């Protein structure tokens, strides 16, 4: 499927200044309702020091060719600014949408015209609830739409995030099956899916001429490869998808992971190689008839993924969380 979006953004969306955007926000975005997290969700947010959404941790970094990255709460946001408008990959949380607009202004943009969601998880797509209400068009893989509509528990072993359904305006209205190509802000943007990986509906977003790729959480380079096995994710799919991406990119590619700092192909090679070693070890244990509890006790990934910044939030070491979700995905 191929869609060209070089000039139609001027037709589909009305450009507005940052001030106009904020006025619309006051009229249409009801943040008190958005802040209504469940007790279980608040526990997770508090453990990760995300409760309260302090804007001081938000920061933007220019890359090249009017591309930049916003770091902060949740997943990394890749930003494209240009004559066609502003396109972002992922949207973080609705509570920080105004701070995100400030960071987008630093990168040369104002309002958000298009969002590409790498997947449906709260820390990457909840910002849809603000930007979608303000008129942004949202793109995602076909397989993610059911989760946007009905919600789903995200099992982190010791805690689960009960993902609530998204409002209609926050649900992607443009979808694709295998790939989609956009022509936007002078970029050829390739959106790709290689099958179930982190979830059943992940998107990789490659800015071809600029040689910049957003990996979503298929590449969480904080030391925690998380497989959402309850929502279609698989370890083998993670490995396969990364290997497919690595066929596409080169040593000069700027890699924007779902979490973690800006990286390169060599970082992906190190990451996926460790997952391949872990897969071999876990597979051997499964063939021996070892139970999930026995495999977790032995922890065959302890030397590969010993810890991550999310350990406090999940309440379990990164290696054990990875082993648990890998085992489940390999024995379904």
Q: For 221-230, what is each residue's pLDDT tens digit?
A: 998 899 999 9
Helix ranges (H only) for 13-126 are 18-28, 31-34, 39-47, 97-106, 122-125
Q: Classify domain 9-330 by CATH architecture.
A: 4-Layer Sandwich (3.60)
The pLDDT of residue 160: 87
Question: In the structure, what pLDDT confidence band is assigned to residue 22 with cuts at 50, 70 and 90?
Answer: very low
Q: Which two tokens stand for residue 119?
A: 């997947």
CA distance 172 to 152: 16
The pLDDT of residue 48: 78
Question: In the structure, what pLDDT confidence band is assigned to residue 20 with cuts at 50, 70 and 90?
Answer: very low
- Whether 144 and 120 have beta carbons less than 8 Å apart is answered as yes
Sign of CA dihedral 61, 220, 46, 38: positive
Q: Which residue has the higher pLDDT, 44 or 20?
A: 44
* Beta carbons within 8 Å of 9's beta carbon, 6+ residues apart: 84, 85, 113, 114, 184
Instruction: Report, as an integer, the average pLDDT of 169-178.
Output: 97
Angle between helix 235-248 and 318-330 (nearest 10): 100
CA distance 265 to 185: 25
- Whether 73 and 59 have beta carbons less than 8 Å apart is answered as no
- Whether 162 and 122 have beta carbons less than 8 Å apart is answered as no
- Whether 296 and 322 have beta carbons less than 8 Å apart is answered as no
Instruction: Report, as an integer, the average pLDDT of 216-225.
Output: 95
- Residue 101's alpha-carbon distances to 59, 70, 131, in angstroms, are 11, 10, 10
Q: Which two tokens stand for residue 324?
A: 């648990």
Instruction: Report, as an integer, the average pLDDT of 264-269.
Output: 98
Instruction: Report, as an integer, the average pLDDT of 180-205.
Output: 98
Question: In the structure, what pLDDT confidence band is assigned to residue 233 with cuts at 50, 70 and 90?
Answer: very high
- Whether 206 and 190 have beta carbons less than 8 Å apart is answered as yes
Share of the chain above pLDDT 70, in %: 89
- The kind and range of the H/E element at 301 are none
pTM above 0.75, yes or no: yes
Position 1 pLDDT exceeds 90? no
User: Among residues 101, 100, 94, which one has the least CA distance to residue 33?
Assistant: 94
Question: In the structure, what pLDDT confidence band is assigned to residue 45 with cuts at 50, 70 and 90?
Answer: confident
- State the CB neighbour count (10 A cutoff) for residue 267: 16
Position 204 pLDDT exceeds 80? yes
Share of the chain above pLDDT 90, in %: 76
All structural domains of the chain with their residue ranges = 9-330
Query: What is the chain's percent helix, strand, coil content, to nearest 5?
Result: 40, 20, 40
pLDDT digits (tens, 9 = 90+) for 285-324: 999 999 999 999 999 999 999 988 888 878 889 999 999 9
Report the DSSP pairing between strands 204-207 and 187-192. Answer: antiparallel
Q: Which residue has the higher pLDDT, 62 or 31?
A: 62
Position 29 pLDDT exceeds 60? no
In three-state secondary structure terms, 247 is helix
* Residue 137: exposure state from Cβ atoms within 10 A (0-12, 13-18, ≥19): buried
6 DSSP 8-state letter: S
Q: Which residue has the higher pLDDT, 153 or 20?
A: 153
- Residue 295's alpha-carbon distances to 154, 188, 211, 223, in angstroms, are 22, 45, 40, 20
CA distance 132 to 126: 10
In three-state secondary structure terms, 160 is strand
The pLDDT of residue 11: 28
Q: How high is the mean pLDDT of the chain?
A: 89
Q: What residue ranges in 123-173 does DSSP mark as E strands?
A: 137-141, 152-155, 160-163
Angle between helix 18-28 and 97-106 (nearest 10): 170
CA distance 289 to 298: 14
């Amino acid at each position: 499927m191929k869609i060209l979006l070089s000039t139609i953004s001027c037709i589909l969306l009305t450009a507005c200044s940052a001030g106009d955007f904020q006025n619309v926000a006051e009229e249409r975005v009801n943040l008190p309702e958005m802040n209504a997290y469940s007790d279980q969700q608040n526990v997770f947010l508090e453990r990760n020091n995300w409760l309260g959404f302090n804007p001081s941790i938000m920061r933007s970094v220019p890359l090249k060719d009017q591309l930049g990255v916003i770091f902060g709460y949740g997943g990394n946001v890749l930003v494209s600014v240009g004559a066609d408008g502003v396109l972002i990959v992922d949207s973080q949380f609705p509570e920080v949408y105004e701070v995100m607009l400030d960071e987008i202004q630093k990168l040369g943009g104002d309002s958000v015209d298009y969002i590409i969601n790498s997947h449906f998880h709260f820390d990457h797509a909840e910002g849809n609830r603000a930007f979608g209400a303000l008129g942004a068009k949202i793109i995602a893989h076909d397989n993610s739409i059911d989760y946007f509509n009905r919600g789903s528990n995200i099992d982190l072993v010791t805690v689960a995030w009960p993902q609530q359904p998204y409002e209609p305006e926050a649900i992607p209205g443009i979808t694709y099956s295998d790939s989609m190509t956009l022509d936007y802000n002078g970029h050829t943007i390739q959106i790709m899916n290689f099958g179930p990986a982190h979830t059943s509906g992940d998107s990789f977003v490659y800015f071809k001429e600029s040689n910049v790729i957003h990996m979503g959480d298929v590449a969480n380079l904080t030391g925690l490869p998380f497989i959402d096995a309850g929502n279609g994710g698989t370890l083998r799919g993670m490995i396969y998808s990364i290997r497919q991406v690595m066929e596409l990119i080169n040593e000069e590619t700027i890699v924007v992971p779902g979490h973690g700092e800006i990286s390169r192909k060599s970082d992906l090679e190190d990451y996926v190689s460790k997952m391949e070693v872990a897969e071999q070890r876990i597979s051997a244990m499964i063939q021996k008839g070892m139970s999930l509890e026995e495999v977790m006790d032995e922890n065959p990934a302890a030397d590969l993924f010993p810890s991550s910044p999310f350990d406090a939030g999940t309440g379990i070491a990164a290696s054990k969380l990875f082993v648990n979700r890998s085992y489940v995905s390999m024995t379904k």
